[in-house]
């Protein structure tokens, strides 16, 4: 299992599986829903779940960041895309 790229995937790697569960708040694959992985007895499944994007965007007002950065984060939360 790896992380921090915000891109959910399961890929073969040598004789193992490489898994990135994505991101609960900012998956960057074009799907803004929260992304996570479930490991059940060796079987890995990527799943998505809706969450309140509006609440996450409203919480941006409470962080110490520039308006440009906050606008970028809002776009990511709404679209699931970096650009």
**For 49-70, what is each residue's pLDDT tens digit?**
999 999 999 999 999 999 999 9
What pLDDT, on the 0 to 100 scale, is given for residue 50? 94
pLDDT digits (tens, 9 = 90+) for 21-46: 998 888 899 999 999 999 999 899 99
What pLDDT, on the 0 to 100 scale, is given for residue 82? 86
Contact 28, 81 (CB under 8 A): yes
What pLDDT, on the 0 to 100 scale, is given for residue 47? 96
CA 45 vs CA 21, 35, 40: distances in Å: 9, 11, 8
């Amino acid at each position: 299992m790896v992380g921090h790229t915000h891109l959910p995937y399961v890929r073969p790697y040598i004789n193992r599986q490489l898994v990135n569960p994505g991101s609960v708040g900012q998956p960057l694959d074009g799907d803004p829903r929260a992304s996570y992985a479930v490991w059940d007895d060796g079987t890995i499944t990527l799943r998505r779940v809706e969450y309140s994007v509006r609440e996450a965007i409203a919480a941006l007002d409470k962080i110490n960041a520039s308006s440009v950065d906050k606008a970028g984060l809002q776009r990511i939360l709404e679209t699931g895309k970096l650009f």
